[in-house]
Chain A
Amino acid sequence: MAFPFLSFLKRSQGPEAPGVHPQPFWSFRPRSDRESGDAIVSNFALHMFPAKVSRASLAWKYSFWLGTGSAALFLLLILSGGPLLFLYVPSVERAYASIKDIEYVVTFGSWLRSVHRVGAHLMVVVVALHLVRVFLTGAYKNGVGQGQKREWNWVIGVFLLLFTLLLSFTGYLLPWDQLAFWAVTVGTNIAASIPFVGPQVRELLIGGRAIDQPTLIRFYVLHIVVLPIAVGALFAYHMWRVRKDGGLAAVDKEARENELQEAPASSTKTYTLLGIARGTSPVIKATSISRLDKMVNAVPDLVRRANLVTLATIALISILATFVRSPLEEPANPLVTPNPAKAPWYFLWLQEIVTDTTIKIGSFTVNGAFVGGVVLPGLLVTLLILWPWLDRSPKEAAGVWFARARRRQNLVFLLLCAFVLTLTFVGTVMRGPYWHIYWPWEAWPDIPGRL
């Protein structure tokens, strides 16, 4: 052969070693189970999927594919952030002008910025909905598989939501307009309200005592390097754990139902060789695995659906971004606070709480910023993280929408969600100048922007 180093491209001839796949590439239209398996095993991007998945875990009505939607949005945010990296200048003198250029001068700049912004807002929504779905289906619960640690994947998920919020919030400052400046003023002063260490924490966050160049560069680096890497790494771990836990919790439900119908399992299936040796890999009873009528090949069934969700997400954002223009307010002015000054919408429920939680006992006063901005959200996040261990419902409730055994906790959870949504609505729509309540149909009084 003229180019021996290209020999890998050539179909191998003669007797093959068992287990060595004969082709360098794979097919997304497999003609056999063997080809279908190869499409997973020999594909770097897809090796996180199993070769076969259960039909139950692909059901739209079970998961709504919200996790895939989140991942698609993250991908889209990385892609749309790329060109913005070339166009944006992270300097207090030039940041605003560079965003203005992106908005009004750069070809397609306004659209790209809108894709990035709409995608970011939607990612907050979709990731939050994903968490709600997992809670309501009890999908953080371990079912019939051995060695499952679904509760830890839930914890990773909570952190992914927090990082999503942080990503969005750090991006909020970058335009260096009034909206950005005062949202960050309020946000970092909440950190400063922590007793004893607050001022030092704020100083570390903003790199000084006033919001200035050090703050901008800190938020910028967090936004484009630190947080995306953190989200990417956690996402990979999140996916890997789904596999280690034997797939979505819906699979456990199905396996249990099969067990009821059939004779007890005679054999088990272990996913990995090492797992057999160590006894650490999830072992699913054969009834759930070997029922071939319940299983489909990941290629094409899973991959096709994932591609559809990704495509739909990209289409939705692309179309929305042509209609929704991204706002750019006046340049940041530390001397004038806009009236009203609002945090991003997903933090407005917290802004409502910090408005109402200043506690006065005699001459002793606890700043609402600490109660509503640090203590309450801290408690909520702690409770979310610990919930899988506090939930005492039977394992039969894993992977079931509104399981009877989890009725009360689902109700409390939904009430909490409704509470947060109500406060978000009040903060977004009903708060006018000086944070007074106005009905949506009431006009705000004319108040001069400057003194």
Chain B
Amino acid sequence: MAEHKDRRDFMMKAGLGAGIAGLGLQAAASLRSLVPNVSYDAPTTVKIGMPTDFPDGLKFLPDQRLFVFREGKTFHAISAVCTHLGCTVRAEAMSQPETKEVDGVKMKLTHRFLCPCHGSRYEGDGKAVAGPAPRALAWYHLSISVDDGSLVVDLAQEVARDFRLTLA
């Protein structure tokens, strides 16, 4: 009779194991399906217009959440995404522009940046000076498109703060 009991016992355990394995795999598959494989993000390399469209000083591009600065023939671009929790910072023109050496390059600071969410403040070069922001605003790579000469920003490529795009 022990033989029968063993068989029943085995069948019971096999059934239980199969049930747990089945449900476990179903649950794992269900959860995995919620992790996106494709992210339909906006492209990171974007044409943002002809250089002549940019006035001297600052232009805000809401779609890219980006500030583009122009000083004569040189351009640089600073992100408008607060490094604390991702709100869009606002630029405030300074009454008295300052000149400061940033990473070895003389730079005229005409604006500062304020975050509406938690009050972080950044200097004109993006350096975080007050509030909870843990890092400076990102600087992005700018280039000129070979086909039509428009300005191209690469939002996936952060650059150092001495980066400048100078037109010939």
Contacts and interface: CB of A to CB of B under 8 A. Distances in A.
Contact of A434 (B91, B115, B135): B115
Interface stretch (A25-33, A88-96, A205-213): A205-213
A377 to B, nearest CB: 15
Interface in A320-374: 335-341, 351, 354-358, 360, 365-369
Nearest to A435: B119
A279 interface: no
B84 A340 contact: no
Q: Which of B41, B42, B65, B85 has the most CB of A within 10 A?
A: B85
B87 A341 contact: yes
B40 A190 contact: no
Interface stretch (B1-9, B99-107, B126-134, B139-147): B126-134
Given A209-B41, A366-B134, A186 B116 contact: no
Nearest to B31: A204
Nearest to B61: A335
Nearest to B67: A451
A300 interface: no
Q: Which of A193, A355, A366, A433 has the most CB of B within 10 A?
A: A355
A368 B132 CA distance: 6
Contacts of A35: none
Contact of B36 (A207, A336, A356): A207
B88 A335 contact: yes
A368 B87 contact: no
B62 interface: yes
A182 interface: yes
A50 interface: no
Interface string B33-72: 0111001111000000000000000001011010000000
A184 to B, nearest CB: 11
B41 A435 contact: no
B118 interface: yes
B156 to A, nearest CB: 12
A418 B93 CA distance: 40
A366 B62 CA distance: 29
A171 interface: no
B22 interface: no
Q: Which of B34, B62, B119, B131 has the most CB of A within 10 A?
A: B119
A436 interface: yes
A183 to B, nearest CB: 10
B90 interface: yes
B132 to A, nearest CB: 4
A417 to B, nearest CB: 24
Nearest to B64: A335
B35 A434 contact: no
Nearest to A213: B40
Nearest to B83: A367
Given A185-B87, A189-B85, A367-B84, A435 B118 contact: yes
A451 B91 contact: yes
Nearest to A182: B87
Nearest to B85: A189
A208 B135 contact: no
Contact of A189 (B39, B86, B131, B135): B86
A165 B155 CA distance: 36
A336 B62 contact: yes
A365 B116 contact: no
Contacts of B62: 335-336, 451
B117 interface: yes
Contact of B39 (A208, A366, A369, A433): A208
30 contacts: A182-B117, A186-B85, A186-B87, A190-B85, A203-B39, A204-B35, A208-B36, A208-B41, A209-B41, A218-B34, A335-B62, A335-B63, A335-B88, A336-B62, A337-B116, A340-B117, A341-B116, A351-B118, A354-B132, A355-B119, A356-B132, A357-B132, A358-B132, A365-B135, A369-B85, A434-B114, A435-B115, A435-B117, A435-B131, A451-B62
Given A189-B84, A358-B133, 13 more contacts: A208-B39, A208-B41, A218-B34, A337-B116, A341-B117, A351-B118, A358-B134, A365-B135, A367-B84, A367-B132, A368-B84, A451-B62, A451-B91
Interface of B: 34-36, 39-42, 60, 62-63, 65, 84-88, 90-91, 114-119, 131-135
Interface of A: 182, 185-186, 189-190, 193, 203-204, 207-210, 214, 218, 335-341, 351, 354-358, 360, 365-369, 433-436, 451
